[in-house]
Amino acid sequence: MRQLKELVRKNIWALKPYSSARDEYSGHVAHVFLDANENPYNGPYNRYPDPLQHEVKDALSRIKGVSSDCIFLGNGSDEAIDLVFRCFCEPGIDNVVAIEPTYGMYKVCADINGVEYRPVLLDANYCMSSSAVLSACDKYTKVVWICSPNNPCGNDIDREEIKKVIEGFSGIVVIDEAYSDFSAQKTFRAELDAYPNIVILNTMSKAWGCAAIRLGMAFASKEIIGIFNKVKYPYNVNLMTQQKALEILQANADVCHWVNILLEERHRVIAAFKELPICVKTFPTSANFFLAKVSDAQGIYDYLVDKGIIVRNRTNVQLCDNCLRITIGTRTENNELLGALRTYTANN
């Protein structure tokens, strides 16, 4: 890995971060707050939230097995994704490499930040070649993006291939593990000490059932987290999000139960889907969704929309021609989907 100072944009490395009122008295006990021009009424919502979300990070540290100073929390994973570009990539000069197909926000953020985006196609089974990824890199490549389990495909990217990329690339490797709670594959967040150039993304939106509170997380070396904290907006995670996160983190057993139910339903739904005449192929998945090649993706999608059932038509994504991405819902929702598709089959 190149030295962190070589990877970070020069202006970001030299940046003096905004000093918030809540940072400046850190380490002292206080009960009268006359420093931040807050209204003294309507507590607790009149006060700015903890800018570094210490309580939430401490709770996550115990669950995820990562030191709290190696955790960044943001407004969804999208904030962490954007920060990677803003911290490491010089607009108009640097580039990033990503597998294709994958989560679309990597390219959106690259375009917003004026950074060249180099997609590397997966094979027909959505498997990644580490040599192909590394061959796409040059001296201006700052970041490689790997989503595993991958979206929209659902499959785990081979762990040994990911390691080859990490070990063979001198820049930052971001591994987006948003769906890892549904996968049996070992995550990379326990290997931060071994690989100081990795950033692991995770989220409260999937297994934790908290998409509405918009809380994403990044795990990385404390030096990289320090760069993120310097660039982020001071109060990027609001109080209500922090409160709800602490509440759901205490229900870890419930979350494990939800995951087990969804895994059972995933197996049942895919088995039933394979029996439908519209199904050409279902692809292996380690996520809470599956990708299926069907006879007429647009026609089936439109039919389901008319029935009030929404799936994702991925037919315009590379390597996903005539494919639908279907999230696993409750047993009742899944049965309604399957029933509608059986009716569609009978009438077409």
Q: How confident is the model at residue 139 (pLDDT cuts 50, 70, 90)?
A: very high
Q: How confident is the model at residue 249 (pLDDT cuts 50, 70, 90)?
A: very high
Residues 10-25 have a mean pLDDT of: 88
Residues 280-301 have a mean pLDDT of: 98
22 pLDDT above the threshold of 80: no
pLDDT of residue 260: 98
Q: Give the pLDDT confidence of 169-185 residue by residue, as tens digits.
A: 999 999 999 999 999 99
Stated as kind and residue range, the H or E segment containing 176 is: strand 172-176
Q: What are phi and psi of 88, to 5 degrees?
A: -110, -25
Cα separation, 184 vs 166, in Å, equals 21
Residues 252-265 have a mean pLDDT of: 97
Q: Give the pLDDT confidence of 173-222 residue by residue, as tens digits.
A: 999 999 999 999 999 999 999 999 999 999 999 999 999 999 999 999 99
Residues 160-167 have a mean pLDDT of: 98
pLDDT of residue 311: 98
pLDDT of residue 274: 98
Q: How confident is the model at residue 348 (pLDDT cuts 50, 70, 90)?
A: confident
30 pLDDT above the threshold of 90: no
Tokens of 16: 């003096």
Contact 311, 327 (CB under 8 A): yes
Coil/strand/helix, residue 337: helix
Which residues neighbour 288 within 8 Å (Cβ) at sequence distance 6 or greater?
A: 179, 182, 206, 207, 262, 266, 327, 328
Coil/strand/helix, residue 142: strand
Q: Helices 239-249 and 54-64: crossing angle, nearest 10°? A: 30
pLDDT of residue 253: 93
107 pLDDT above the threshold of 80: yes
247 pLDDT above the threshold of 90: yes
Cα separation, 338 vs 224, in Å, equals 46
